[in-house]
Amino acid sequence: MFSGTFKPKLDDKGRLFLPAKFRDEMGSGLVITRGQERSIDVRTKADFDQFATKLQNAPQTDARLRHYTRMLFALASDQVPDKQGRITITPELREYASVQRDCVVIGVYNRLEIWEPQAWADYTAAQESAFSDVEDEIFPGL
């Protein structure tokens, strides 16, 4: 499980040092792609393959699914972190998420998300009251 918030910097080649606590799980391979709310998703290869299988088995007649899968796979990149634990954020993904040098990496259960710092600050500010106001009926049985 991935959790926590980290604030690494991209190097001049657009490489990101994965936070040390995530390197073992991501070390054998990962997929980096477009995420929601203009973030970048990083998933283990196994998790991404499992997610892709679910998408493949869904009805391809649904236009929303076709649109989503095109956007997801068009910028997807299979990677293996180098010996120093670095991955490359492609120029297209950096542009999509407006990530320059500074970024915020958050663990979200089964994936990492990479955010532009101001976008992350704006998102958390906007979501704070909704998070605080969650009522039991949203999560039945918990």
What the chain holds in terms of domains, given with CATH numbers, is: 2-133 (3.40.1550.20)
**What average pLDDT does the structure give for the chain?**
93
Interval 87-110 mean pLDDT: 97
More confident residue, 128 or 119: 119
If pLDDT is split at 50, 70 and 90, which confidence band does 65 have?
very high
Enter the pTM of the model: 0.91
Res 69: pLDDT? 95
Res 142: pLDDT? 59
The secondary structure of the chain, three-state, reads: CEEEEECCECCCCCEEECCHHHHHHHCCCEEEEECHHHCEEEEEHHHHHHHHHHHHHCCCCCHHHHHHHHHHHHCCEEECCCCCCEEECCHHHHHHHCCCCECEEEEEECEEEEECHHHHHHHHHHHHHHHHCCCHHHCCCC
More confident residue, 33 or 135: 33
